């Protein structure tokens, strides 16, 4: 959950004219400049637009019949219901033409760095903690429970045990039964009434010029225990260069995680590692450049986290 490659995105000019004209009509001003944005794995256009009257907006768009369009529509439904105080860009409107487009207020900033010593680290941890406080109780009634949403997905070790691949990590192969046993240990502690983002990683965040962190890409939220979003940052920290013990200190001392039994957190580490180890072997998604490479790196990081926790137990 920090990509090493970016989706190959179309430019604003590649968005069909009917969709572009509809967006400009709603904005009541023509676009005079479009700056494409990298990041993430969906293959849609992502552009910061400067309007003739000086306003700026952010637009993400892709063909209405693309498999990822459903995720865009889901994100729109969620963002339309987020509390105004949530650290997320405000959704202005959506357009459904040849392409599905979401138009947000523009946020001037950059992707935060999680590398050791980064001044962004503290801001990210504060933001994630504030996110949980501000979204408890869950403000959305239509999101799934996290166990219903992630439970079936995070059982990769069980799937891999059926026919272990030849290139499976030797340690994982030797301890496959233990990994299978542990990957559901987080289930009893998954219930909660917090709106979870479910995919917190640096490229789903923006560090504003004032230092505050905004969270974007609300395509797969769920209702559950707040500690899951916080603990899910550990693999991203490891991929950014942290040692497991340091990443643990940063995350497991947070109140929402510290109140959870150690074995449940260890089980969540196993579940994430198994999910990514399984997912990285699937065919590359349409237009999602680099997704499988990211999942391979994430699997290594999450397995290192699990092994570190097993040594502590």
Residue 113: how many CA atoms within 13 Å on its side-chain side?
6
Whether the Cβ atoms of residue 290 and residue 41 lie closer than 8 Å to each other: yes
How much is the average pLDDT of 252-267?
96
Report pLDDT for 284: 81
In this chain, the answer to whether the domains covering 12-107 and 110-312 adopt an identical fold is no
Spatial distance between the Cα atoms of 102 and 46, rounded to a whole number of angstroms: 10
Which of these CATH numbers, 3.40.50.150, 3.40.1180.10, 3.40.50.10490, 3.30.200.20, describes 12-107?
A: 3.30.200.20
- Tokens at 183, concatenated: 């990957």
Where does residue 35 fall: left (phi above 0), alpha (psi -120 to 50 degrees), or beta otherwise?
beta
When pLDDT is cut at 50, 70 and 90, the band that residue 4 belongs to is very low
Residue 3 pLDDT: 34
Domain map (residue ranges) of the chain: 12-107, 110-312
The pLDDT of residue 92 is above 90: yes
DSSP state of 13: G
pLDDT at 41: 80
pLDDT at 89: 97
| Pure H helices in 28-119 | 69-79
Q: For residue 202, give the nearest of 85, 90, 121, 82 by alpha carbon.
A: 121
The DSSP secondary structure of 251-268, one letter per residue, reads HHTSHHHHTS-HHHHHHH
User: How are strands ordered across the β-sheet holding 31-36?
Assistant: 31-36, 45-51, 56-63, 99-105, 91-96
Tokens representing 123 are 């801001």
Interior/surface letters 227-260, b for 16+ CB within 10 angstroms, e for the rest: bbbbbbbbbbbbbbebebeebbebbbebebbeeb
pTM: 0.93
What are 228-249's pLDDT values in tens digits?
A: 999 999 999 999 999 999 999 9
Q: Is 211 left (phi over 0), alpha (psi -120 to 50) or beta?
A: left
Which residue pairs, CB below 8 angstroms and at least 24 apart, start in 10-15? 10/43, 10/44, 10/45, 11/36, 11/45, 11/47, 12/36, 12/45, 12/47, 12/49, 12/59, 14/45, 15/45, 15/59, 15/61, 15/99, 15/101
Q: Compute the average pLDDT of residues 212-224.
A: 96
Q: How far apart are CA 149 and CA 242, in angstroms?
A: 29
CATH number assigned to the domain covering 110-312: 3.90.1200.10
pLDDT for 8 equals 66
Query: CA 287, CA 41: separation in Å to the nearest integer?
Result: 8
* 282 has pLDDT over 50: yes
pLDDT band of 40, cuts 50, 70, 90 = confident
Neighbours of 117 (CB within 10 A): 8
pLDDT digits (tens, 9 = 90+) for 103-142: 999 999 999 999 999 999 999 999 999 999 999 999 998 8
How far is CA 153 from each of CA 157, 159, 225, 279, rounded to the nearest angstrom?
A: 11, 10, 17, 10
CB–CB of 231/267 below 8 Å? no
What distance lies between CA 91 and its chain's CA centroid? 18
CA–CA gap between residue 148 and residue 140 (Å, rounded):
16
């Amino acid at each position: 959950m920090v990509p090493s490659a970016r989706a190959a995105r179309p430019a604003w000019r590649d968005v069909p004219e009917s969709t572009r004209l509809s967006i400009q009509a709603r904005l009541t001003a023509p676009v005079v400049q479009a700056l494409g944005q990298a990041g993430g794995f969906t293959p849609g256009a992502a552009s910061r637009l400067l309007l003739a009257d000086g306003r700026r907006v952010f637009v993400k768009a892709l063909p209405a019949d693309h498999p990822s369009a459903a995720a865009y529509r889901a994100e729109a439904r969620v963002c339309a219901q987020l509390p105004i105080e949530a650290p997320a860009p405000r959704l202005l409107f959506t357009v459904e033409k040849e392409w599905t487009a979401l138009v947000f207020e523009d946020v001037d900033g950059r992707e935060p760095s999680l590398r050791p010593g980064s001044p962004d680290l503290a801001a990210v941890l504060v933001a994630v903690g504030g996110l949980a406080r501000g979204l408890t109780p869950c403000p959305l009634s239509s999101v799934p429970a996290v166990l219903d949403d992630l439970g079936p997905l995070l059982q990769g070790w069980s799937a891999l045990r059926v026919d272990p691949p030849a290139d499976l990590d030797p340690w994982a192969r030797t301890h496959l039964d233990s990994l299978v046993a542990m990957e559901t240990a987080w289930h009893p502690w998954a219930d909660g009434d917090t709106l979870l983002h479910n995919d917190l990683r640096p490229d789903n965040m923006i560090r504003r010029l004032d230092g505050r962190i905004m969270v974007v890409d609300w395509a797969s939220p769920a209702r559950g225990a707040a500690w899951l979003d916080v603990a899910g940052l550990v693999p991203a920290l490891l991929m950014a260069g942290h040692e497991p013990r340091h990443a643990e200190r940063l995350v497991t001392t947070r109140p929402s995680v510290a109140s959870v039994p150690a074995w449940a957190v260890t089980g969540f580490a196993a579940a994430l590692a198994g999910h990514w180890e399984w997912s990285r072997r699937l065919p590359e998604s349409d237009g999602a450049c680099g997704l499988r490479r990211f999942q391979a790196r994430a699997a290594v990081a999450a397995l290192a986290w699990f092994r570190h926790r097993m040594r502590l137990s």
